[in-house]
């Protein structure tokens, strides 16, 4: 598989096998960033937990750690969690996951 196919595979497997559940329900805390091992063991997590699993899977597939970014950003619509998986030829980040965590609306 090429890199884009690997990314699509990881995205598909994590989305279909890790059910979304809030931190409050799963961990009894308002916000908890689980490790990939914890999320996989529970089979559940919120968006940043799923992004961490994707990041670890891509590292295991040989993606350069220096090309993987898990970050939060303040956007017009609220606080978002991003998993970027490298750089496009024009210098833009290649995003795998981008999700609004908290909306300002």
Whether the model pTM is above 0.75: yes
CA atoms of 56 and 18, how far apart (whole Å): 14
Convert the pLDDT of each residue in 73-96 to its tens digit. Answer: 777 766 666 777 666 667 766 766
- State yes or no: pLDDT of 54 exceeds 70: yes
Question: Residues with Cβ < 8 Å from 97, sequence gap 6 or more?
Answer: 11, 47, 50, 51, 54, 81, 82, 83
In sequence order, what are the residues at sequence separation of 6 or more whose Cβ sits closer than 8 angstroms to the Cβ of residue 4? none
pLDDT in tens, 14-29: 989 999 999 999 999 9
pLDDT grade for 37, boundaries at 50, 70 and 90:
very high
In sequence order, which residues have a C-beta less than 8 Å from that of residue 3 and are 6 or more positions away?
63, 86
Domains of the chain with bracketed CATH = 3-103 (3.10.620.30)
């Amino acid at each position: 598989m090429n890199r884009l196919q690997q990314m699509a595979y990881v995205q598909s497997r994590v989305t279909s096998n890790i059910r979304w559940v809030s931190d409050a329900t799963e961990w009894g805390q308002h916000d908890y960033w689980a490790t990939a091992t914890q999320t996989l063991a529970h089979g559940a997590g919120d968006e940043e937990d799923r992004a961490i699993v994707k990041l670890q899977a891509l590292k295991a597939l040989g993606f350069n750690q220096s090309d993987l970014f898990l970050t939060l950003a303040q956007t017009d619509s609220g606080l978002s969690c991003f998993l970027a998986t490298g750089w496009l030829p024009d210098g833009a980040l290649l995003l795998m996951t981008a999700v609004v965590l908290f909306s300002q609306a």
